[in-house]
Amino acid sequence: MKDLLTRALTGLVFISVLIGAIVWNKYAVAGLFFIVAILGLVEFFKLMEKAGFKPKKRVAGTVGALIYVIIALYSFKGEITYAYLLFIFPLLVTLVLIELFRKSEYPVTNFAFSIAGIFYVVIPFAMLNFFAYNADGEFYDTLQISGYQYILLLAFFVIQWANDTGAYLVGRAIGKHKLFERISPNKTWEGAIGGAVFALLAGFLFAFFSTGHIGHWLAIAGLITVFGTLGDLTESQIKRSVGVKDSGNILPGHGGILDRFDGVLFSAPFVLTYLHLFEIHLNVFN
């Protein structure tokens, strides 16, 4: 009972802080995800150390922080641009040079996992800053005068939570057929289907308050379901490979940052790519 209460209180605080930051302004969002990204990167490096690797934590952490700030600053311009790559690649090359001069036993492996942490954790969190804008910087132009519009970012997390909740409830109630027993014994096909149904229903509800085509909302929900589940399985595989139950303990009753955001890390890049490629305008509450 105590564990359940701890889990519930942590979840309530977690959701309140996240929603509060999203609704507040772009600086709160950028600041919160910056902190979460760095904490997640630290967790990832600790997992890699348990596996016997030696990523350059301080240098990679600094490079990751700089990359996050660069991407976030470009998002403030209200446009999706790839000019920030001109700054990111030199930073990654710096990691290579430092690893070469360390004269470590396995420089390529250590460098690879340092880079992997940045791509797996930092960049997806940084990409979330773009969710309030389209290619022209006018996502949800009917909501507010300012450039920052929070609805799509909020919807992204609500659909993600709907998927997680549906998978848990349905899997717990009728789950029998294992999804990937070797990786995650508790996940079932019934749970995965239940999560998909919940996510699609959430997308369907958002479509009622949007001028965007319902097909786009369902596509977004589908992307979140598929890649969110793959992100969950990937993180489970990483934990099993190093013999740990949770990625960390910063969230009592929930584990670590990677445990809570595993689906987000995989689904965010694909949803953003979809929105950008199709230049979708999902004006909400119009």
Q: Of how many residues is the chain composed? A: 286
Residue with more model confidence, 92 or 246: 246
- Domain ranges within the chain, ordered by starting residue: 2-277
Between the ranges 110-119, 251-260, 263-272, where is the mean pLDDT highest? 263-272
Over residues 114-133, the mean pLDDT reads: 88
Please determine, for residue 112, whether its predicted confidence score (pLDDT) is greater than 50.
yes
Examine the pLDDT at 136 and tell me if it is beyond 60. no
Q: How sure is the predictor about 84, in pLDDT bands with cuts at 50, 70 and 90?
A: low
Q: What average pLDDT does this structure show over 163-188?
A: 82
| pLDDT beyond 80 at 148 | no
Residue 243 has what pLDDT?
A: 84
Q: Is the pLDDT of residue 172 over 90?
A: no
Q: For residue 146, is pLDDT > 50? A: no
CA dist 32 and 125 (Å) reads: 10
Own/partner pairs, 32-37, CB within 8 angstroms, 24+ separation: 33/68, 33/72, 33/125, 33/126, 33/128, 33/129, 34/65, 34/68, 34/69, 34/72, 34/125, 36/125, 36/257, 36/261, 37/64, 37/68, 37/121, 37/122, 37/125, 37/126
Is the pLDDT at 140 greater than 50? The verdict is: no
Residue 90 vs residue 222, higher pLDDT: 222
Q: What is the pLDDT of residue 31?
A: 94
- Contact assessment for residue 152 and residue 158, using Cβ atoms and an 8 Å cutoff: no
Residue 143 pLDDT > 60:
no
pLDDT at 96 over 80: no
Residue 177 or 235, more confident:
235
Q: What angle do CA 212, 272, 151 make, to 5 degrees?
A: 50
pTM for this entry: 0.87
pLDDT at residue 266, rounded to an integer = 94
Choose between 157 and 72: higher pLDDT. Answer: 157
- Judge contact between 163 and 196, C-beta under 8 A: yes
Question: What's the pLDDT band for 177 if we cut at 50, 70, 90?
Answer: confident
